[in-house]
Amino acid sequence: MQIGNYICKEMNGLFLCKSRLLFQFKNLFHIITTRKVDKNTFNIDELDMSFKNERFKDHYNLLSQNLGLDLNKFIFTDQVHSNKVEYVNSQNLIGEFYKNVIKETDGLITDEKGIFLTTKYADCMPIIAYDPIKNVVGVAHSGWRGTLIDMPKHLIIKMINEFGSFPENIFVSIGPSIGTESFEVGFDVAEKFIKKFGERYVIKKENRYFVNLWGIVEDQIYEMGVRNIEVSMIDTFKYSNYFYSYRKEKTNKRFSVIVSLIH
């Protein structure tokens, strides 16, 4: 089935999604997990990739075993709403999978095959970037705070500086995240966006303010010279039956985006 611009289907009892834009690349592995699982197959109600989940090891093992992924080659971001992007490779694998966390960072890039860059979400924007010419991949976590400090641009800049990528060769997908109609903010936050980006991304309805984060990020990436950009058009607030939404549920649960270069 299709949700927004993403292809979603059940795989071995797990309901997973992929980008239509990135699906064409055979050297790239990418999945977006959802909360939905076959309850008749697994002894859990929903898949939760948060490390705050008391049974997170079971959930990660379930995912890795059913997809044939080497869990100890997963590398995670610390996710502190920064604009820091780090290059990683197998030297960053320091032990059990949950110890492979890059501190004080929200983005990862690699040119090494067989390691899995993993980020977690519940309304913030996943940004996946792939350069098929250099065969390099990156992923970034960008919430409204990260967007205000240009996290999407920093992901592209890191790929350019680290690998010599040309922006016109980079393909970017902006994953499931909170949409404009759902992202209501107070005037204090709206004012921050108006000062940074102008009024075009802030919608005022009576005395309520809504921010178009998707539009901002798409334009930020376009400004870097990237032309192959996809927005998933999946609002996590509206599609909370598939994806976690902190705004809607005040939950600590998370879905994940996992990307890797294939051997």
Beta strands in 84-166 (DSSP E): 85-87, 101-102, 107-110, 116-121, 125-131, 136-142
What is the model's pLDDT at position 20? Answer: 97
Q: What is the number of residues in the chain?
A: 263
Question: How many other C-beta atoms are found inside a 10 Å radius of the C-beta of residue 83?
Answer: 21
Asked if the model's pLDDT at residue 169 lies above 90, the reply is: yes
Tally of structural domains, the chain: 1
Radius of gyration of the chain (CA): 18
Q: What is the pLDDT of residues 124-144, one digit of tens each?
A: 999 999 999 999 999 999 999
CA–CA gap between residue 2 and residue 263 (Å, rounded): 28
What is the model's pLDDT at position 179? Answer: 98
Q: In what side-by-side order are the strands of the sheet with 171-174?
A: 85-87, 107-110, 136-142, 125-131, 171-174, 228-231
Asked if the model's pLDDT at residue 239 lies above 80, the reply is: yes
CA–CA gap between residue 144 and residue 217 (Å, rounded): 10
| Residue 47 dihedral angles phi and psi, to the nearest 5° | -85, 125
What is the model's pLDDT at position 49? Answer: 98
User: Is residue 41 very low, low, confident or very high in pLDDT (cuts 50, 70, 90)?
Assistant: confident
What is the model's pLDDT at position 62? Answer: 95
> Can you give the CATH number for the domain in which 234 is found?
3.60.140.10
Which residue type, as a one-letter code, is found at position 121? Y
Q: Which of 83, 245, 228 is nearest to 176 (CA)?
A: 245
Residue with the two structure tokens 């705070």: 145
Asked if the model's pLDDT at residue 263 lies above 80, the reply is: no
The answer to whether the CB of 73 falls within 8 A of the CB of 117 is: no
The number of C-alpha atoms within 13 Å of 168 and in the hemisphere containing its C-beta is: 0
CA–CA gap between residue 255 and residue 244 (Å, rounded): 6
The answer to whether the CB of 203 falls within 8 A of the CB of 191 is: no
Asked whether the whole model's pTM tops 0.85, one would answer: yes
User: Is residue 108 very low, low, confident or very high in pLDDT (cuts 50, 70, 90)?
Assistant: very high
What is the model's pLDDT at position 72? Answer: 95
What is the model's pLDDT at position 42? Answer: 87
Q: Strand 116-121 vs strand 74-77: parallel, antiparallel, or unpaired?
A: parallel
The answer to whether the CB of 80 falls within 8 A of the CB of 145 is: no
SS3 252: coil
Q: What is the mean pLDDT of the chain?
A: 97
Q: What is the pLDDT of residues 67-98, one digit of tens each?
A: 999 999 999 999 999 999 999 999 999 999 99
Domain range holding 133?
2-261
Give the H/E segment covering residue 32: strand 28-37
Asked if the model's pLDDT at residue 111 lies above 90, the reply is: yes
- Mean pLDDT of all residues in 248-254: 98
What is the model's pLDDT at position 175? Answer: 98
What is the model's pLDDT at position 192? Answer: 98
What is the model's pLDDT at position 250? Answer: 97
Asked if the model's pLDDT at residue 58 lies above 80, the reply is: yes
Quote the percentage of the chain above a pLDDT of 70: 100
Two structure tokens written together for 114: 């067989």
